[in-house]
Structure 1
Amino acid sequence: MPEAIPTLVPPPLKRGDAVAIAAPSSALRDDDSLKRGISVFESWGLEVTPQDLSARHWGYLAGSDAQRRADLDPHPTPPLLACARGGWGAARLLEHPWPWRPGWLLGFSDITALLCSRLAQGVGGGVHGPLVTTLADEPDWSQQRLQELLFDRVAPDLQGTTWVGGQAQGPLVTVNLTVASHLLGSAHLPDLKGRILVIEDVGEAPYRLDRMLTHWRLTGTLQGLAGLALGRFSGCDDPNLSADADQTFSLEQVLKERTLDLGIPVISGLPVGHGPGGNAALPMGVPAKLDADRGTLALERADQR
């Protein structure tokens, strides 16, 4: 049996709750996008703790490892810890034991490392969703989804495209494929047996995706899933495809060839991850149902847990 992943999530947010901003990855480049994201939280009635992160950097990182680790452990612990941006650097903070505290943790991309490590330690409340610097540019439906998820713990079903029919139920884990691939073999990737996995990525050539998915297959990780859903793979197709179609593989060809023989339900095209169109927030570790016959991914209602 797989290890227990908590189904209990933190209490819903309410107006007046505090939000702390963390910068655990790359240095911030756009102070305006950070401010606009904070304004969205404030429009929901949340109180954002002031912090000057725009000028803080250590090389390409948003401060030293010690500074960025301190961001993840604010005192007092806020109901919501929202990550400013992705890039690279979060996994560096996992080299030493980390006592995750209860509460909501929001982010995606490089923040996958933190979301997975937190879940692997049995702490709920992680949300794979917009960063503070991307939140204001999310379409209305995506902002509303995140707000409802944090305040009411509900969210509409997501619609995708059926690749392999069938139905699956299990705890939900959503990751950036590249970041999660570098957690394989570590204690920071939760046991994925019996889980529904959602993967997304950006800027990776088809052969690199092939290499990563093959790595997952060689470890047996993909074969142990209950179901698989693919989000957005922005900028991942081969730019030479039209000229050399017989000498390469398209993005879709690679994804299908590496996933359709797993014997589990598979859907694609979920509005999750990088790129335009919205990044649908998904909570980590909560019960979900993948209905690949209908092409839908549904979260179990909070009052059913």
Structure 2
Amino acid sequence: MNRREFITNAAAAGLLLPLAGGLGGHAFAASRSRLLPVPLRKGDTVALVSPSSATDERINLQLPREVMEALGFKVKTGAHYGSRYGHLAGTDAERAGDINTAFADPEVRAVIALRGGSGAARLLPLLDYEAIRANPKALLGYSDITALHCAIHAQTGLVTFHGPNGTGSWNRFNADQFRRVFFERELVEYRNLVEAGDELVARRNRTLTITGGRARGELVGGNLAVLSALAGSPYLPDFRGRILFLEDVSEAPYRVDRMLTTLKLMGALDGIAGFIFGECTDCDPGGGYGSLTLDQIFDDHIRPLGVPAYRGAMIGHIRQQFIVPVGGRVEMDADAGSFRLLEPVFQAG
């Protein structure tokens, strides 16, 4: 079964669950109280794990270690960090075991995903959520790691962090984001870096308001394709009263439309407080009779909700990206195209 067949089947299962609960039911995990991870300092030990696809070059196992050391950490790697099982970085039991071990290890203060790809959703029934709840630590990664963010937040309430994977670009912007969020524990304002360059008017990193206004709530979300594939499972957080952020890569607009339709039909968009879309990288329509534009898709699915919404945030498969706390409480301003943390996302100390 390929990725898109899996998403289609999962979405179909998600449509049935609200019906089982009667009209107005919602296919979400029960909400849990928010749980903050322990703070990080230079000199701490972090674990590098590989929950998704295997790497194709040994250098991609070495570089993330060097990045973490350059940030000031000691590094442990999972026992199956460099393993391969088909396209995956080891069997499901091996990959889940490395995550469970990292959370249970008293020396480890944070867990960093090596890369995305696919396969993280296969691990969700194998994770030790009680151990994760008892040992709250920051988890960092994006793309396929959305499955872990959603499941861990749904099952434990733990705040995790959507941001660069170990093999991603650790350019100056991303490294600065990491220091501000993790070391300085700043109440960050997430506002796009907009520079005109030699253009009369800036073109890159522009935001576009869908519906104006301000909203407050906890952030939930991540990669749209991965998140929508959790429809009908106990690993999808409740979106009601929250600000939903999404991004994607290499998805034709008709597939973005289909995935948002899935969320709409299962009730996931009902009651959200606000909406932020990052980048949809390489999401151009193909040939043929034409396509809905992304603007039209957001007008159809998001604008009728009547909640503050904007697109273009620096979230997603881009070189410079925000580190976004999943579960962090924020205020968004859809007219300004920004959001800011209202409360700390780490334990005191």
What's the TM-score once normalised by structure 2's chain length? 0.79
1:292 aligned onto 2:339: no
Which stretch of structure 1 is more off in the superposition, 90-99 or 117-126?
Answer: 90-99
1:150 aligned onto 2:197: no
Map 1:69-108 → 2, pairs under 5 A: 69-74=96-101, 75-77=104-106, 78-96=108-126, 98-99=128-129, 100=132, 101-108=135-142
Match of 1:281 among 323, 326, 331: 323
Hey, what does 2:153 align to over in structure 1? Answer: 119
> Matched residue of 1:110: which SS?
helix
User: 2: CA distance between counterparts of 1:303 and 1:150?
Assistant: 9
Amino acid at match of 2:323: A
Map 1:12-31 → 2, pairs under 5 A: 12-31=39-58
Amino acid at match of 2:176: Q
> Matched residue of 1:249: which SS?
coil
Q: Deviations over 1:205-249 (max 9, x none)?
A: 111111110111111211221000000100111143xxx6x7322
Match of 1:207 among 220, 231, 254: 254
Root-mean-square deviation over aligned CA pairs: 2.2
Q: Shift of the alpha carbon at 1:156? A: 3.0
Judged with a 3 Å threshold, the aligned counterparts in structure 2 of structure 1 residues 55 and 9 are, in CA distance, closer, same or farther, namely: closer
What's the TM-score once normalised by structure 1's chain length? 0.90
Q: Shift of the alpha carbon at 1:95? A: 2.7
Which stretch of structure 1 is more off in the superposition, 191-200 or 29-38?
Answer: 29-38
Amino acid at match of 1:41: M
Judged with a 3 Å threshold, the aligned counterparts in structure 2 of structure 1 residues 303 and 195 are, in CA distance, closer, same or farther, namely: closer
> Matched residue of 2:189: which SS?
coil
Hey, what does 2:92 align to over in structure 1? Answer: 65
Whether the 8 Å contact between 1:29 and 1:54 is mirrored in structure 2 is: no
Whether the 8 Å contact between 1:164 and 1:265 is mirrored in structure 2 is: yes
Q: Deviations over 1:247-304 (max 9, x none)?
A: 322233323322111111101100101133x121101111111111322111114299
User: 1: CA distance between counterparts of 2:283 and 2:97?
Assistant: 34
Q: Shift of the alpha carbon at 1:89? A: 0.9
Segments of structure 2 that go 5 or more residues without pairing to the other structure are 1-27, 193-206
Q: Deviations over 1:145-167 (max 9, x none)?
A: 12221222222322433221011
Whether the 8 Å contact between 1:8 and 1:286 is mirrored in structure 2 is: no
User: 1: CA distance between counterparts of 2:58 and 2:335?
Assistant: 44
Q: Shift of the alpha carbon at 1:96? A: 4.0
Judged with a 3 Å threshold, the aligned counterparts in structure 2 of structure 1 residues 38 and 172 are, in CA distance, closer, same or farther, namely: same
Whether the 8 Å contact between 1:168 and 1:226 is mirrored in structure 2 is: yes
Q: Deviations over 1:158-192 (max 9, x none)?
A: 24332210111011113100000011111101111
Q: Shift of the alpha carbon at 1:70? A: 1.1
Hey, what does 1:133 align to over in structure 2? Answer: 167
Amino acid at match of 1:151: F
Match of 1:173 among 197, 220, 226: 220
User: 2: CA distance between counterparts of 1:172 and 1:184?
Assistant: 18
1:234 aligned onto 2:281: yes
> Matched residue of 1:127: which SS?
strand
Percentage identity across paired residues of the two chains = 37
Amino acid at match of 1:256: D
User: 2: CA distance between counterparts of 1:232 and 1:6?
Assistant: 30
Judged with a 3 Å threshold, the aligned counterparts in structure 2 of structure 1 residues 45 and 247 are, in CA distance, closer, same or farther, namely: closer
User: 2: CA distance between counterparts of 1:60 and 1:81?
Assistant: 22
Amino acid at match of 1:197: L
Return structure 1 stretches of 4+ with deviation > 3 angstroms: 2-8, 50-55
User: 2: CA distance between counterparts of 1:122 and 1:228?
Assistant: 23
1:183 aligned onto 2:234: no
Judged with a 3 Å threshold, the aligned counterparts in structure 2 of structure 1 residues 56 and 93 are, in CA distance, closer, same or farther, namely: same
Q: Deviations over 1:89-138 (max 9, x none)?
A: 1111113463224111111111111111110123323101110010xx24
> Matched residue of 2:233: which SS?
coil
